[in-house]
Amino acid sequence: MTMLSRTTVGIAAVCGTLFMGYCIYFDRKRRSAPDFKKKLREKRRKQGSRSAPGGSSQLPDLRSQEAVQSFFMQEVQLGEELLAQGELEAGVEHLCNAVAVCHQPQQLLQVLQQTVPPQVFQLLLQRLPLAGQRLAASAAAKEAAITEDDVE
């Protein structure tokens, strides 16, 4: 019995070592590729344009409940993370986006009033009308685009 478990442990150790070697080899090969940095920059640029950590986010399709709910959760999480990192402006912007799409904004504002510092909450209240306007403008633009597609 002891021999079997030693053999099993030995085989597992060898397999683990081989797997790590495989990962290291292909990671080095990938990084040494001539266009690796160019591809990496392009990938990061595309990711950054979709949802920049400190910038404004792409607003969801308001007709899709799933999209709004996913956007809401993403914005709350991102806002909390940015506030924890000390980036108040960006964190407040994301929380404003979350409040703007929330179905019960008064309740969310009450929770935020109790959980965030008073100066952050005041900044949130100041920026909330702008987030609402941005949401309305986005909804109007999407509606206009849909109407144009229907006409054609």
The mean pLDDT values, 10 residues at a time, for the chain of 152 residues are 78 92 88 84 72 56 82 90 88 90 88 90 90 79 58 46
pLDDT at res. 27: 86
| pLDDT value for 11 | 92
pLDDT digits (tens, 9 = 90+) for 92-115: 999 998 898 888 889 989 998 998
Find the helix packing angle between 105-115 and 118-151, rounded to 10°.
150
pLDDT for position 21: 92
Burial of 104 (0-12, 13-18, 19+ CB in 10 A): exposed
Measured between alpha carbons, how far is 36 from 112 in angstroms, rounded to an integer?
Answer: 43
Prediction pTM value:
0.56
Q: Which domains does the chain have, with CATH numbers?
A: 62-151 (1.20.960.10)
